Amino acid sequence: MMLPSKCLVERGLMAGFLVIASLAAADPLPTVGTESRPVTNSYHGTSVLDAYQWLEESGTAPVKEWSAQQNARTRVYLDQMSFRDGIAQELLQLRSEESARFSGLRERQGRLLALRFKPPAQQPVLVRLASLEPPTLWRTVFDPNTYNAKGTTTIDWYVPSRDGRLVAVSLSENGSEQGTLHFFEVDTGKELEDRIPRVQYPTGGGSATWLPDNSGVLYTRYPHQGERPESDLNFYQQVWFHKLGTAPEKDRLEIGREFPRIAEIRLDSSTDGRWMVAAVANGDGGDFSHYVRNPSGTWQQLSRFEDGIKSVEIGRDQNLYLVSRDNAPRGKVLKLPLTDRMRPADAREIVPQAKGVIQELAPADHGLYVSYLIGGPSELVFYPHGKVKPKRIATLPVSAVSGLQSWHGDDVVFGNVSYLQPFAWYTWAPGADKPARTALYLTSPVDFSDVEVVREFATSKDGTKVPLNILRKKGTPLNGNNPTILYGYGGYGITLAPGFDSTRRVWFEAGGVYVVANLRGGGEFGEEWHKEGNLTHKQNVFDDFIAAAEHLIRRGYTSPAQLAVEGGSNGGLLMGAFLTQRPELAHAVVSRVGIYDMLRVELDSNGQFNITEFGTVKDPDQFKALYAYSPYHRVKDGVNYPAVLLTTGENDGRVNPSQSRKMAARLQAASASGRPVLFRSTASAGHGIGSSLKDRIAEQADVYSFLFNELGINTAKWRFE
């Protein structure tokens, strides 16, 4: 690496930072000393100093230069490891030797569509399937890998027409999640001329549904240039109508003038398309209102945010099925006939609150399928109409059910995956002994029969029992010497359900233990579990994670010298809180696309949507809570912080990359441990959604290399010298 010229270390030059390269052979890692430019912000009489606020100025020459120097420094650290390329090669081989993954399964009039992913393709491909039975015959409808050879075009989502002959597909570039709606013929793959911009954005996502005659779509749309002030262009999502063959400029507004600024809309419809539902989220806090469109095209409001209705499904029997958490934090199911004047108060309870948390519904002709969360793992139950005993359907042990849908009669289709067995699509019909695996299943090049899943419970600060899903090789000694990754999230009511990943074999072969913590703030035990970890109760999430680390150490799974923690996005906030509150508990921290400055996050577009989950500095009590745990503000000079790897994507529309820049600068200036604090950004990626295979492999290889090096793992197997 070239040494920086002397002019770069002089204060006040364009770059705005200091670069000092160490010449000592024992310490080849350059040091980037970021210039302090103190700014004082005031909140409710409290003055808060921010030394690195200038790093929020994305796109400016100083910030670009800072990022380039930080990335170069990180590459010096990683590329000097002789085992890094070997790890990358094994990760790619594992992915390449898997069979094809099929996701997003849909059926329309006998036509089956799915997203198929098989390396060396960089992105999933939209395909039409011959059937669910073997052999797995498929034909390409749209391939983003040939559409853009760089592998940076991704399918955000797709919706087939009622007759299955056309499909609407949202496409975005470079992980931006900024989608444009395209249309294709399913049988030929021919693209129509219609293109609708701004149907999808990271803040609120996007959605569409077809009219009954397939002549057009209702779709979500963000304001176009000139329709609202520049500061509002990524807000005020509404529902618009587009008739195929016409210019988007002629599209008309369907509904949404009364929706909040931070609305997030999901559209759905009955099988015949005559009835439609718009679910409107009030930001990310978990509250929804619902609107129903009748066959004449008239909309009526069905529920309000305060009603506790979380989801609505339209049955083939002309009934709505509502998941309500009104006086039922784990959820109950209500049934309401479709009419022009519907009220939740007129609905009849058909499935009372149970032990598990309702996750998905699938109405069938003579019953209702319900999948439950039992603290993380899933359970699938069929409730026949009438006073008939419900039937529990056998699934994989400690597994997750997803993609629940009934296409015809009382048959059901669902996906199932466990920590130790790959994802597969299954079918089941009443009377069958067990579900039948379809032709759509993943085969893995590795065998996890030597690995077991142990479920234990840590005791949090206030006595709450926190589930830990511990993956370890059978016979692993509890001697405190096992390198261990503890993973957590804890937010938005999102559940960390069981999932399979063949690349974990790399970690197990290194003698590692992998642990997933089901923290408060998630949805594992219902709305109460979520609410106990959001807004002014967010500290509970961090206490839960700290308790998980202490439990693993106390039980002898690992020790502080062998413990690494990992999380992303809201889980990145968790990593920042953990390392600033209990830096002595872990040796290494991997934090992806994280949030760290809780006082300024709401200034970004997506930060506005997060207010209903995190709170706002405009509220005195919420500001007090935010400031108390904000990781960026809790960093203290002279503390022995763990080794830290902060990753981000330059096109991230969910969490501003400046969050990682500022946290890296602050930690680098403060840490006294001598362990590295590394910043890594990817120019062709965003929040991680839609990233190309090569970008994902490169980042995972860097993460494992960082952990192996910091935890002192024997890397002989991966050395190709």
Which residue of the set 289, 569, 658, 671 is catalytic? 569
What angle is formed at CA 442 by the lines to CA 439 and CA 448, rounded to 5 degrees? 135
**Using CA atoms in the order 660, 661, 667, 673, what is the torsion angle rounded to 10 degrees?**
90
Which residue of the set 687, 691, 692, 705 is catalytic? 687
From 609, 582, 586, 583, select the one nearest 595 (Cα to Cα).
609
Whole-angstrom CA distances from 216 to 59, 61, 126, 536, 544 are 39, 45, 21, 45, 49
DSSP state of 205: B
Structure tokens at 583: 């830096």
C-alpha to C-alpha distance for 648 and 551, rounded to whole angstroms: 30
3-state SS, one letter per residue, for 375-434: CCCEEEEEEECCCCCCEEECCCCCEEEEEEECCCCCCEEEEEEECCCCCEEEEECCCCCC
C-alpha to C-alpha distance for 178 and 687, rounded to whole angstroms: 12
From 318, 321, 320, select the one nearest 332 (Cα to Cα).
321
Q: How far apart are the first and last CA of the chain?
A: 21
User: Is 687 noted as a catalytic residue in this protein?
Assistant: yes
Neighbouring CB atoms inside 10 A of 461's CB total 12
CB 658 within 8 A of CB 58: yes
CB 63 within 8 A of CB 52: no
Pairing of strands 166-173, 643-649: unpaired
User: Is 270 noted as a catalytic residue in this protein?
Assistant: no
From 169, 109, 167, 117, select the one nearest 138 (Cα to Cα).
117
Amino acid sitting at position 245: G
Structure tokens at 402: 């997803």
Catalytic residue positions? 569, 687
